Amino acid sequence: METLQLEVPIEFSAKLLPYRDRLPEVLLLGLQQLKIQEALLLYSRGLVSFGRAAELSGLPEREMIRHARASGMQPRWTEELAKEELQ
């Protein structure tokens, strides 16, 4: 196992203290959430397709749709995309 030393502001340290035995899990959950937010931002700006956003986040498209809707986003559907989905 690799050792990583992080410096965090004191207010973060106090919040992390109760989870000190689960810090790897906390970091992985935070990283996953950050990847989802970044992917949705790219999608919302029209820089990537929804499928690519899901790929970047590491989630299946169906799960990414749930995250998008929870963020108040609506997928941009074209007639062509709708036809593909119905096949």
User: What domains can you pick out in the chain, each with its CATH number?
Assistant: 23-86 (1.10.10)
Could you identify the residue written with the tokens 């749930």? 66
Per-residue pLDDT at 46 exceeds 70: yes
Once rounded to an integer, what is the mean pLDDT over residues 7-34?
92
Dihedral of alpha carbons 48, 81, 57, 68, sign:
positive
Once rounded to an integer, what is the mean pLDDT over residues 12-18?
89
Where are the strands (E) in 1-87, listed by range?
none
What is the average pLDDT value for the chain, to the nearest integer? Answer: 87
* pLDDT greater at residue 27 or residue 77: 27
pTM higher than 0.85: no
Q: For residue 57, name the pLDDT band (cuts at 50, 70, 90).
A: very high
